[in-house]
Amino acid sequence: MLEHLKASVEAITEDDAAIREMLWELNVPSLLMSIVHMSGDTSVLSRYPAPRMMNVVEAGAGGEQLLEGGYTRAQAAQIHEEVLTAIAAYRQRGGSLPELDDNVVSELYTFMCGHELDQRYENFIREEIALDGVDQRGLNLETEALKAAGRNFPVVIIGGGMGGVLAGIRLGEAGIPYTLIEKNSGLGGTWFENHYPGCRVDVPGHSYSYSFEPNHEWSCHFPLADEIRAYFDRCAADYGVKEHTRFNTEVEAARWDEDSATWQVTVVDGNGERDTLTARAVISAVGQLNRPKLPEIDGIDTFNGPLFHSGAWPKGLDLAGKKVAVIGSGASAFQIIPELAETASELTVFQRSPAWMFPNPGYHMAVGDGQKWALKKLPYYSKWYRFWLFYTSIEGVYDKTLVDPAWNDSRSVSAANDEMRQALTAWIESQVQDPALLEKVLPTYPPFGKRILQDNGTYLAALQKDNVELVTEGITAIEPTGVRTADGVLHEVDAIACATGFYADRFLFPMQVTGRDGVSLNEQWGDTNGRAYLGITVPNFPNLFCIYGPNTNLVVAGSIAHNAESQVNYILRSIRFLLEGGHQSMDVRQEVHDSYNDEVDRINADTAWGWEGVNNWYKNEAGRVTANLPFRIIDYWQMTKQPKAEDYRFS
């Protein structure tokens, strides 16, 4: 366990008038927590109701716009005065904070969640929020023997995105040598590669970051790609990961050598030079959405103008005043279309199916100075704010995705799911007045049957501009001057952007990975049927670990950053098993792997995204969900907290 999470705060020097104004920007539940930390007095919790989660529609349904947590402006004003009182006493003490015992901390958790917690859930929160400043997710090799063994355990990490940089940081902290292989010239993974107009994350930035390395300087609540890339680049620099990275280099093949119990990893750099690295373990952090997939349309090679994938947007491309086509209406297109609608002379959007969108007025909102002030200066505010974002994204939604076998409506999978469908329908209807357009943009499949997108109104507003046309006729061909649809119309354009997704069902593609007895990973997986125990380990491939592997994508379970930390935690403790036991390798038992994946398939099949009535990128060509984790995030956290020796064969 590493103690580098103490909540350091800057001194509060602003006067009450300035503070009072800034408080209106802040999260009310987190303010209540900060009051207790500054005062040591929990009586404030008895004067106000516990916070509750609400969507945008519910927040304004009663006539008065409620603030985060369901508080009225009058309640918030009273809480602000209590904050000012607590700050005054805190400053008078010179910035010292009272010690809170475990009972008080438990009371804070219960209040913030709005209900009594079982011990498992409280442990889960304690680790995530780390009020005690102890980072429980790193690997600390305590003895000299373990440290020496660690120094002789070289690891190769494939991929320098969120997961790869995290693995490098953790291995470096433990003193384990590693080499990170990155195919690009910089770090950041998908955030390095995707730089299309409007590219941003759809998870709040303050929770889309490492738990041990908060960023209080996000410019937007949902940051743009360049800012996210810069965050991971800074983390890599600060923790020395760059020094271990080979840029512009790809892994061509990895082969397990049984005699030496090592992986022989063949890499090729940008000049075509090959090298072979020897590793005791390989960590794949290549991601699921990193190989662009162009559509299979007749004539795609005949177009006269620029034709490109959204994930490989040409640098310096100027489409102002041009006639532009966007093929696709998923997450990337959802962000691209409003941007192009502002500058293109004509924008034609080709939609195969519409998207459900979750109302989020703050999706493009800048982080105010008050919020930045609080994150830096209010004791423990940043920790509780991160937890609030995290908690409200994982609770209260999961049950709405589960299929009720008795439910009989193709537009939803249960009564709870239908309730959400009606709320999301009302949101879309509130923005579209044209009945013909409404019919095109209103989904007829269940919510969560495909990826739900964050919406602040800009997408549907863009579709209603005079220079924008939404086409739902199927595409039959691409011709030199445009796109031909099934109704015979040729839509003439100057450029075509294909927002058509990735090879999401081809994990570790296109590397050739060979395990025990010459088994090919591609053959074992049948190319598009990836399976792994916990999404991390694979039978016949000893000491191979995956981050963001098969069935680990999150739909309703919070930030992928948390998931990556759970996976790296498991990998680190697996390596510890090997070092402590003097083992050369660990290989997951086939029966353990199969039993786990049977459970994954069973639960996924009973969700909206696994329901037989929908098609999506979560499924492979056979209809099996290969992308998504079907469990609650607390369950997956528990599964990955400590590997079980009985699940593996050691040699």
**What per-residue confidence (pLDDT) applies to 503?**
86
User: In the predicted model, what is the mean pLDDT of residues 74-91?
Assistant: 97
pLDDT of res. 1: 42
Lowest mean pLDDT among 116-130, 148-162, 620-634: 116-130
| Cα–Cα distance, 367 to 383 (Å, whole number) | 17
Residue reference for tokens 């304690």: 126
C-alpha span between 196 and 178 (Å, rounded): 32
Q: What is the pLDDT of residue 58?
A: 55
pLDDT band at 358 (very low <50, low <70, confident <90, very high): confident
Distances (CA, A) of 200 to 73, 189, 402: 31, 14, 29
pLDDT of residue 429: 96
Helix (H) or strand (E) holding 277: strand 274-279
How far is it, in rounded angstroms, from Cα 28 to Cα 40? 18
Give the model's confidence band at 64: pLDDT under 50 very low, under 70 low, under 90 confident, else very high: low
What's the mean pLDDT in 405-415? 96
Count, residues in the chain: 651
DSSP 207: T
pLDDT tens digits along 298-318? 999 999 999 999 999 999 999
Q: What is the distance between the terminal CA atoms of the chain, rounded to a whole angstrom?
A: 28
User: What integer is the mean pLDDT of 579-596?
Assistant: 97
Give the Å distances, CA to CA, from 18 to 12, 15, 559, 580, 605: 11, 6, 33, 56, 54
Amino acid at 404: D
Q: Which long-range contacts (CB under 8 A, 24 or more apart) does 208-212 make?
A: 208/559, 208/560, 208/561, 209/561, 210/166, 210/169, 210/235, 210/561, 210/565, 211/5, 211/128, 211/130, 211/135, 211/137, 211/386, 211/561, 211/562, 211/565, 212/2, 212/4, 212/5, 212/135, 212/137, 212/138
The whole-number average pLDDT for the span 40-57 is 85
Give residue 374's pLDDT band: very low, low, confident or very high (50, 70, 90): very high
> Are the CB atoms for 404 and 61 separated by under 8 Å?
no
- The verdict on whether omega for the bond into residue 510 sits within 30 degrees of 0, i.e. cis, is yes
Tokens of 145: 């023997």
E strand or H helix that includes residue 603: helix 590-605
What 8-state DSSP symbol labels residue 491?
E
**Average of per-residue pLDDT across 181-185:** 97
What is the full DSSP assignment across 405-456?
A: TT---TT-SSHHHHHHHHHHHHHHHTT---HHHHHHHS--SPTTSS--EEES
Q: What does the pLDDT average to over 43-68?
A: 75
Question: Does residue 10 come out as left (phi exceeding 0), alpha (psi in the -120 to 50 range) or beta?
Answer: beta
Tokens of 317: 């491309």
pLDDT of 510 reads 87
Show the tokens assigned to 320.
């102002």
Nearest Cα neighbor of 453 from 604, 563, 336 is: 336
Count the Cβ atoms, other than its own, within 10 Å of residue 9: 19
Give the model's pLDDT for residue 5.
46
What are the φ and ψ backbone dihedral angles of 141, each rounded to 5 degrees? -85, 105
Report d(CA 427, CA 432) in Å as an integer: 9
Whole-number pLDDT of residue 54? 66
**Bridge partners for 649 per DSSP:** 587
> With contact defined as beta carbons under 8 Å apart, do 209 and 166 qualify?
no
Q: Supply the pLDDT for residue 274.
A: 97
State the CB neighbour count (10 A cutoff) for residue 437: 14
pLDDT tens digits, 460-518: 999 999 999 999 999 999 999 999 999 999 999 999 999 999 887 888 888 999 999 99
Fold assignment, 144-291+506-650: FAD/NAD(P)-binding domain (3.50.50)
Is pLDDT of 117 > 90?
no
With a pLDDT cut of 90, the percent of the chain lying above it is 84
How far is the C-alpha of 579 from the C-alpha of 333, rounded, in Å? 47
Band of pLDDT at residue 212, cut at 50, 70 and 90:
very high
Q: Say if residue 52's pLDDT is above 90.
A: no
The pLDDT of residue 116 is above 90:
no
Residue 632 or 234, more confident: 234
Whole-structure pTM value = 0.95
Name the band, by pLDDT with cuts 50, 70 and 90, for residue 77. Answer: very high
Going by pLDDT thresholds of 50, 70 and 90, the confidence category of residue 55 is low
Residues 215 and 209: their CA atoms lie apart, in Å, by 7
- Would you state the structure tokens that stand for residue 576, as one six-digit string? 């510890």
Mean pLDDT (whole number) for 371-389: 94
Least confident span in 17-31, 200-214, 464-478: 200-214
Model pLDDT, residue 556 = 78
User: 36 in helix, strand or coil?
Assistant: helix
Structural element, H or E, at residue 497: strand 495-498
Find the range with the poorest average confidence among 271-280, 333-342, 388-397, 534-543: 388-397
Q: Where in the chain is the domain with CATH 3.50.50.60?
A: 144-291+506-650, 300-362+397-498
pLDDT greater than 50 at residue 20: yes
pLDDT digit string (tens) for 86-109? Answer: 999 999 999 999 999 999 999 999
Question: What pLDDT score was predicted for residue 63?
Answer: 52
- The first and second tokens of residue 573, run together, are 């403790």
Taking each continuous run of H as one helix and of E as one strand, the counts in the chain are 20, 21
128-152 per-position pLDDT tens digit: 888 988 899 999 999 999 999 999 9
Q: What's the chain's average pLDDT?
A: 93
Token couple for 649: 């064969």
| Residue range 194-217: mean pLDDT, rounded | 93
Give the span between the Cα atoms of 509 and 512, in whole angstroms: 8
SS (H, E, C) 628-639: ECCCCHHHHHHH
Helix (H) or strand (E) holding 124: helix 119-129
DSSP 520: B
Interval 279-285 mean pLDDT: 98
**Amino acid (1-letter code) at residue 519:** V
CATH class of 300-362+397-498: alpha beta
